Amino acid sequence: MLYALRPLAFALLAALGSAAHAQAAAGTAAALDAAVLDALDLRIAAAAPRVIEWRRDIHAHPELSGREVRTARLVAEHLKRLGLEVQTGVGGTGVVGILRGALPGKVVALRADMDALPVEEATGLPFASKVRASYRGKETAVMHACGHDGHTAILMGVAEVLQGMKARLPGSVKFIFQPAEEGAPDGHDHHDGAATPAWGAKAMVEQGALKEVQAIFGLHLTGNLPLGVVGYRSGPLMAGADSLRIRVQGRGTHGSAPWSGVDPILASAQVVVGLQGIVSRQLNITQEPAVLTIGAIQGGNRDNIIPDSVEMLGTLRTFDEGMRSEAKQRIATTAQSIAAASGAQASVSFGPTAYSVTNNPPALTEAVLPALKLAARGRVTEIPKVSGSEDFSEFQKAVPGFFYLLGATPKGKEAATAPTNHSPAFDINEDALAVGVRTLSVLALDFLGRP
């Protein structure tokens, strides 16, 4: 998942800590007993060093989507030591832990994702990843470049904290540790029209991870919000995502005589340029924003040989289903028409990655916001829509779900210029981990404590 929050960071600090924030947070005192909060904070303080240790261990041993075997084992062993009911192999390598409170009540779920990315780390951390793995037929470096190591460690900490409060817990908490948030596991990524097996959140939902759950909460760390600041939004928060593949078929020939063939490289270059006109000139972006990016282009292997074909990979981000459908149709029409003008042919396919909009229900957002402000000690701000995507949206299709961002600007960095998620230099301030434990714990306690 990738964020575009840097411009927001400049304006945040002036808005935080205001009287309005303080009053809103203070107004929730009745919702969560002071004794409960005191007990919670003592347990968080005790668990914080272990949370950091878990994060560093997971960071040093990253695993690609669908291969989170070591991470899942670490999580499952921890949950079993706590005495939770544990299910493994859910949706692939997913783990579900169930904490049943001593008192009757509802069921709430908390989610963390576990997978890493094919990125070579450039942080210089003493626990930096040295892991390499095969990805799409090539050896690649692997790195936790999106904060999932922190998410997993945070939720392990929440499980420990809430288990220690089991005697006063009404209802049950499901801890969902999800694989493959970053996309289809290697080998699932095909565009030949065949059905793609479910993965990630969708696979976990299909296999019953949300059975009996009334609501689910999740967070995402980002270096582009100040440390400890919670960013939220009611309604659409993060964009829906569609991966796309365009294959331009020409006719190979010698580079000295391009007229004797059909040059798919030239046609592809024109397609790339033409596609940019879809968002800038054809979609009504006054209604909702959209982003169309070509991120990879491959064709040819020698300077004097025009190849037969070129392949492009890209991503479409939208916040509206109607605009999403229109954009996909226009992408196909544009690519095919431009290629045909050069004597080539273009085929366009979408998937397997196809995430819906991460959409926070207004009613749930309004209900949890006081507790969120209390948990974050008033450091909560409404943020603009984010063009990155999250398959937390699959959980939100099944039950009401609330997702938020947590600022973790590294020490010595500024939120406005810190390396973004998916950067080789991405890192977090580990002080944010305890804030993550507190916010998720309070949200769970608040939800279970309400009628």
pLDDT digits (tens, 9 = 90+) for 380-424: 999 999 999 999 999 999 999 999 999 999 999 999 999 999 999
SS3 of 167, please?
A: helix
Residue 409 to residue 3: CA distance in whole angstroms: 13
430 is catalytic: yes
pLDDT, position 19 = 38
Distance CA 249, CA 308 (A): 6
Same domain, 56 and 151: yes
Give me the domain span that covers residue 260. 241-354
Lowest mean pLDDT among 29-33, 210-214, 249-253, 391-395: 29-33
Q: Does residue 29 surpass a pLDDT of 90?
A: no
For residues 340 and 270, the answer to whether their CB atoms sit within 8 Å is no
Domain end (from 315, 334, 354): 354
Is there a contact between 28 and 443 (Cβ–Cβ < 8 Å)? no
216 and 289 share a domain?
no
CB count in 10 Å sphere of residue 335: 26
Residues 57 and 202 in one domain: yes
CB proximity list for 46: less than 8 A, separation 6 or greater: none
pLDDT tens by residue, 277-329:
999 999 999 999 999 999 999 999 999 999 999 999 999 999 998 999 999 99
173-210 b/e (C-beta count within 10 Å ≥ 16 → b)? bbbbbbbbbbbbbbebbebeeeebebbbbbbbbebebb
Query: What are the DSSP calls for 178-193, one per residue?
Result: ES-TTSSPTT----SS
Give the tens place of pLDDT for each residue, 194-230: 567 899 999 999 999 999 999 999 999 999 999 999 9
Contact (CB, 8 A) for 361 and 354: no
Report the pLDDT averaged over residues 10-33: 47
Please indicate whether residue 404 is annotated as part of the active site.
Answer: no
User: What is the model's pLDDT at position 4?
Assistant: 54
Question: Half-sphere exposure of residue 92, counting CA atoms within 13 Å on the CB side?
Answer: 27
Mean pLDDT of 33-54: 95
Q: Residue 201: what pLDDT?
A: 98
Of the candidates 448, 373, 364, 438, the one whose C-alpha atom is nearest the C-alpha of residue 29 is 373
Q: Which of 25, 60, 387, 54 minimizes the C-alpha distance to 236?
A: 387
Q: What is the distance between the terminal CA atoms of the chain, rounded to a whole angstrom?
A: 35
Q: Does residue 374 sit in the same domain as residue 345?
A: no
Query: Do the domain assignments include residue 1?
Result: no
Statement: residue 14 has pLDDT above 60: no
- End of a domain among 354, 380, 411? 354
Q: What is the pLDDT of residue 297?
A: 97
Q: How confident is the model at residue 175 (pLDDT cuts 50, 70, 90)?
A: very high
User: In this prediction, what percent of the chain has a pLDDT beyond 70?
Assistant: 92
For residues 326 and 413, state if they share a domain. no
Last residue of a domain, one of 354, 389, 418: 354
Confidence band, pLDDT 50/70/90 cuts, at residue 190: low
Q: Note the pLDDT of residue 15.
A: 47
What are the strands, taking DSSP E only, across 150-289?
170-178, 215-222, 230-232, 235-238, 240-249, 253-254
Domain shared by 16 and 78, yes or no: yes
Band of pLDDT at residue 189, cut at 50, 70 and 90: low
* Per-residue pLDDT, 186: 86
What is the average pLDDT score of the chain? 92
**Which of 126-130, 157-161, 202-206, 284-288 bottoms out in mean pLDDT, i.e. has the lowest?**
284-288
Among residues 182, 355, 390, 404, the one annotated as catalytic is: 355
- What number is the average pLDDT over the span 356-362? 97
CB of 443 closer than 8 Å to CB of 367: no
Whole-number Cα distances in Å, 72 to 93, 159, 400, 444? 6, 15, 26, 23
pLDDT at 27: 45
Taking the C-alpha atoms of residue 9 and residue 374, their distance in angstroms, rounded to an integer, is 22
